[in-house]
Amino acid sequence: MRPGFILVLFILLVIVTSVFGKSSGEGNTNIAPQASRRFDIINQANYPSFTLVSTNLYGDFESPPPAPHEIGPESTYSFQVKRDYFYITEAFATYNVVTRFREVIGSFEIKMRLNTHVPSTTIVSKVGSDFTLDNGNTYVYVRNFIPET
């Protein structure tokens, strides 16, 4: 190949990368929303109602990490857990279950896990008998315990 031909190819390469290489946000290269997965904690307590008060939040949460919070009756809180295509990512949330009189009647910890594309939730621990936990791939329902008659 001749040096002139290589120079022309190099110039074309520079032009193409400068035109098509920019992101649509012009300098914003954050692709975090595409690289995370949503998990939900759903408080379905109705009567008697209770509130879920976060006590410990740690792990591979998307930035910014979640702040301490409360989930009232019939409310939902969503987390974004980072996705890494080469590693398993995990985030943990611990809650106290609190009555409307601010009495702690129990607690639980959940693990939110992403194994590449497969999400899962695990109940790590549960203390208390006045509520039940029902978990699926990307959610945990917290409900009143209703004994069978």
Task: Return the structure tokens found at 1.
Answer: 């190949």
Structural domain boundaries, residue 79 = 37-144
26-85 pLDDT, tens digit per residue, is 444 444 445 799 999 999 998 889 999 999 999 999 999 999 999 999 999 999 999 988
Domain total in the chain:
1
Looking at the domain assignment, is residue 58 inside a domain?
A: yes
Mean pLDDT of all residues in 129-138: 94
Distances (CA, A) of 108 to 41, 44, 98: 12, 15, 12
Cα distance between residue 28 and residue 31, in whole Å: 9
Looking at the domain assignment, is residue 4 inside a domain?
A: no
Looking at the domain assignment, is residue 24 inside a domain?
A: no
Looking at the domain assignment, is residue 98 inside a domain?
A: yes
Looking at the domain assignment, is residue 84 inside a domain?
A: yes
Looking at the domain assignment, is residue 70 inside a domain?
A: yes
Residues forming beta bridges with residue 80, ordered by sequence position: 38
What distance lies between CA 8 and its chain's CA centroid? 48
79-113 pLDDT, tens digit per residue, is 999 998 889 999 999 999 999 999 999 999 999 99
Cα 8–Cα 14–Cα 15 angle in degrees, nearest 5 = 90
Looking at the domain assignment, is residue 66 inside a domain?
A: yes
Looking at the domain assignment, is residue 6 inside a domain?
A: no
Which CATH number belongs to the domain containing residue 121 in this structure?
2.60.40.1720
- pTM of the entire structure? 0.74
